[in-house]
Amino acid sequence: MIEEGRALFLQIAEGVEDSIIDGSLAEEAQAPSTNELAAFFRINPATAAKGVNMLVEKGVLYKRRGIGMFVAPGARELLLAERRTAFADRFVEPLLVEARKLGLGPDDLSRLILERASTHATAPARSERQRAEVSGTNTEGASR
């Protein structure tokens, strides 16, 4: 689950972010501790701490003295906004490059996307958002 060639602390931070985005780690829930992350990913605790600190600086996590790290209110919206901005670069761009290589134009692509999407049992984006707003009651912390 850890890949080569990218800074480990970034991957750890992204892992925690993913849990917040998919809702398994709710806002105001306790985040996994540095040592839990280190043990789970089998990495040096100092590296895990660097990832956690990055999330604190970003305002995704905050520290309660003597207790641990918690997910900040608004963290999910913050992360969603950030990921949506990065989406075009991370996913659309490589898609276009590969499509061009295969002689597929933008029209072919959008047709393919619509076709595929219709075969998925699509969870409407609306309910995703509502779920973010009722968060804060979920207290299952280190669910991973």
Partner 1 sequence: MTLAIEVKNLTKRYRDVVAVDDVSFTIEKDTIYGLLGRNGAGKTTVMSILTAQNFATAGQVSVFGEKPYENARVLSRMCFVRESQKYPDDAKPSHAFRSARLFFPHWDEPFAQRLIADFQLPVDRRIKKLSRGQLSAVGVIIGLASRAEITFFDEPYLGLDAVARQIFYDRLLEDYSEHPRTVILSSHLIDEVSNLIERVLVIDRGRILMDETTDAVRDRASTIVGDSAAVEKFIGDREVIHRESLGRVTAVTVLGTLAAEDRARLGALGLEIAPVSLQQLIVRLTQHANGDAAHTTAPIEEVTR
Q: Which residues bind partner 1 (CB under 8 A)?
A: 2-9, 34-35, 38-39, 41-47, 50, 89, 93-94, 97, 101
Instruction: Write down the least CB distance from residue 127 to partner 1, Å.
Output: 34
- CA distance linking residue 50 with residue 61, whole number of Å: 13
Bridge partners (DSSP) of residue 61 are 71
Instruction: Write down the least CB distance from residue 78 to partner 1, Å.
Output: 21
- CA distance linking residue 125 with residue 21, whole number of Å: 13
Nearer to partner 1, 57 or 115 (CB): 57
Instruction: Write down the least CB distance from residue 136 to partner 1, Å.
Output: 30
Nearer to partner 1, 42 or 64 (CB): 42
Nearer to partner 1, 11 or 138 (CB): 11
Q: Are the beta carbons of 70 and 31 closer than 8 angstroms?
A: yes
- CA distance linking residue 143 with residue 32, whole number of Å: 8
- CA distance linking residue 105 with residue 73, whole number of Å: 42
Instruction: Write down the least CB distance from residue 21 to partner 1, Å.
Output: 22
Nearer to partner 1, 37 or 60 (CB): 37
**Angle at CA 57, nearest 5°, toward 54 and 61?**
80
Neighbours of 71 (CB within 10 A): 25
